[in-house]
């Protein structure tokens, strides 16, 4: 949708969006590692407006595959890209080891004004900004209106109301559940702890790790899901599996609390569910609360070894922050923008979404984006933290035992690993 952000183009420019005078006049070529398909349209538009900068695109894999290649290049001192895509949870690992450039030091000071605070915080580390936000997933709740209507259930605003709705839906149809629990889905725990501002971990000075998965807030989330699970009000299912999509399509799973990007999955895999789904704000813990969380997303980073950092930063800012760049990513990639301007643009947030019965769903996305709890951090070894969730918390979920005890086992595994990696570890 090309109309996205047009009304705010002037104000963005006035805010000094573009890097001024930072780029050398001599032509330069930068290398961009990305997993995005159909990215060439974005590249063509950038090069048309920046004739002195050429972008060489390489797809070297997604996630671990790309990160391994980046790490190999870092270890070798050369061979890496100038710019690369990187998920938010992976950025601290590379930033804290000196592999990434602080974009504010190479013409990217505007990044601090362009992007939503809750997303910008994910690339701010120890006073520097080690990437340009690209997309994110403000937390929302997709729900089956037909299932809720059949059970006489109002859309829950709080997690207490959500639990009551779970009882009503199960009572109406024993084969229906308000939601699912995936023993391997660590993002569910991240999303819940984030919303509660639980602070399950932190790192200071790059070496001192504090773990607090036994706090009262952590217990609050864990005990809630232990209770629903023990009462048989959830079904165990693997998110993204064929069976899981069948359960969503049949109304057997009545809600999906996820990042706003979940709409893409629903429309792409379950087109026959058109007009059956709606979206509502992520439930809160107490009446009157507004705090939400996020689920997924990535940014564009510049490697410290790059010899063309100014050009690389110029490209990263244009791709993710300019009206044309953002519109192209939205149209070609289906990505949710992260700029303040996008979420203030009526042409974007007021669009009626046909799949959701004509709902102006992005108004709800925007509300969640504005209310995302600030302060969430990732550890420099977050991939390991995620990898041991299944064998700790996941075991509790599958066994319908205490999730809080699973948190204790999770914390113990994290602490052991962190100590082995040379970090100073404090547990609470």
Q: Which two tokens stand for residue 65?
A: 């595959």
**Whole-number pLDDT of residue 25:** 60
Q: What is the pLDDT of residue 8?
A: 33
How do residues 159-178 score in pLDDT, each as one tens digit? 999 999 999 999 999 999 99
Task: Single out the residue of 312, 343, 323, 311 nearest to residue 45, CA to CA.
Answer: 323
- Looking at residue 60, its pLDDT comes to 86
CB atoms within 10 A of CB 419: 12
The H or E element that residue 166 is part of is helix 159-172
Q: Specify the 3-state DSSP secondary structure of 190.
A: helix
pLDDT value, residue 9: 35
Rounded to whole angstroms, the Cα distance separating 41 from 354 reads 26
Instruction: For residue 371, report the phi and psi dihedrals to the nearest 5 degrees.
Output: -100, 10
DSSP letters spanning 20-87? -S-S-SS-EEEEEE---TTTHHHHHHHHHH-TTEEEEEE---STHHHHHHHHHHHHHTS---SEEEEE
Pair 45, 324: CB distance under 8 Å: yes
The share of the chain scoring above pLDDT 90, in percent, equals 86
* 203-241 tens-digit pLDDT: 998 899 999 999 999 999 999 999 999 999 999 999 999
Q: Give residue 18's pLDDT.
A: 43
How distant, in Å, are the alpha carbons of 223, 385, 403 from that of 410? 15, 8, 10
Report the pLDDT value the prediction gives residue 398, as an integer from 0 to 100. 97
Q: For the chain, which domains are there? A: 6-137+295-358 (3.40.190.10), 139-293+373-427 (3.40.190.10)
Residues in CB range of 427: below 8 A, 6 or more apart: 210, 211, 212, 214, 411, 415
pLDDT at 301: 98
Q: What is the pTM of this model?
A: 0.88
What is the reported pLDDT for 10?
A: 31
Q: What is the DSSP string of 96-115?
A: TTT-B--GGGGT-TTHHHHB
Residues of the chain with confidence (pLDDT) below 70 = 1-25
The pLDDT score that the predictor gives to residue 206 is 85
What is the pLDDT at residue 164?
Answer: 98
Q: Looking at residue 205, what is its pLDDT?
A: 87
């Amino acid at each position: 949708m090309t109309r996205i952000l047009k009304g705010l183009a002037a104000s963005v420019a006035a805010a000094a969006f573009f890097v001024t005078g930072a780029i050398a006049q001599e032509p330069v070529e930068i290398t961009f590692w990305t997993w995005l398909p159909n990215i060439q349209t974005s590249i063509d538009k950038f090069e048309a407006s920046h004739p002195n900068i050429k972008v060489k695109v390489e797809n070297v894999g997604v996630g671990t595959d790309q990160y391994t290649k980046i790490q190999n290049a870092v270890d070798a001192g050369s061979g890496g890209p100038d710019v690369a895509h990187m998920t938010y949870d992976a950025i601290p690992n590379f930033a804290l080891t000196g592999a990434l450039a602080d974009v504010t030091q190479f013409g990217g000071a505007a990044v601090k004004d362009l992007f939503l605070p809750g997303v910008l915080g994910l690339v701010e580390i120890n006073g520097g900004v080690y990437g340009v936000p690209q997309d994110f997933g403000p937390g929302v709740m997709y729900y089956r209106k037909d299932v809720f209507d059949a059970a006489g259930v109002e859309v829950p605003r709080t997690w207490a109301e959500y639990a009551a709705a779970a009882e009503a839906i199960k009572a109406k149809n024993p084969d229906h559940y308000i939601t699912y629990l995936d023993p391997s889905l660590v993002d569910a725990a991240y999303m819940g702890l984030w919303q509660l501002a639980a602070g399950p971990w932190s790192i200071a000075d790059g070496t001192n790790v504090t773990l607090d998965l036994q706090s009262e807030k952590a217990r609050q989330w864990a005990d809630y899901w232990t209770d629903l699970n023990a009462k048989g009000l959830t079904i165990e299912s693997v998110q993204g599996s064929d069976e899981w999509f069948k359960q969503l399509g049949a109304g057997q799973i009545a809600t999906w609390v996820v990042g706003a990007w979940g709409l893409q999955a629903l429309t792409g895999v379950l087109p026959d569910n058109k007009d059956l789904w709606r979206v509502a704000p992520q439930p809160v813990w107490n009446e009157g609360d507004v705090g939400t969380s996020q689920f997924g997303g990535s940014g564009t980073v510049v490697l410290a070894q790059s010899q063309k950092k100014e050009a690389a930063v110029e490209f990263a800012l244009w791709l993710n922050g300019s009206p044309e760049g953002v519109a192209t990513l939205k149209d070609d990639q289906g990505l949710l923008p992260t700029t303040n301007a996008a979420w203030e643009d009526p042409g974007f947030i007021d669009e009626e979404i046909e799949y959701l019965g004509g709902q102006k769903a992005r108004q709800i996305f925007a509300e969640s984006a504005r209310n995302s709890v600030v302060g969430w951090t990732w550890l420099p070894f977050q991939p390991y933290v995620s990898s041991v969730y299944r064998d700790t918390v996941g075991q509790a979920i599958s066994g319908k035992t205490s999730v809080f005890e699973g948190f204790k086992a999770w914390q113990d595994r994290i602490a052991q690993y962190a100590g082995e990696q040379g970090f100073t570890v404090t547990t609470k």
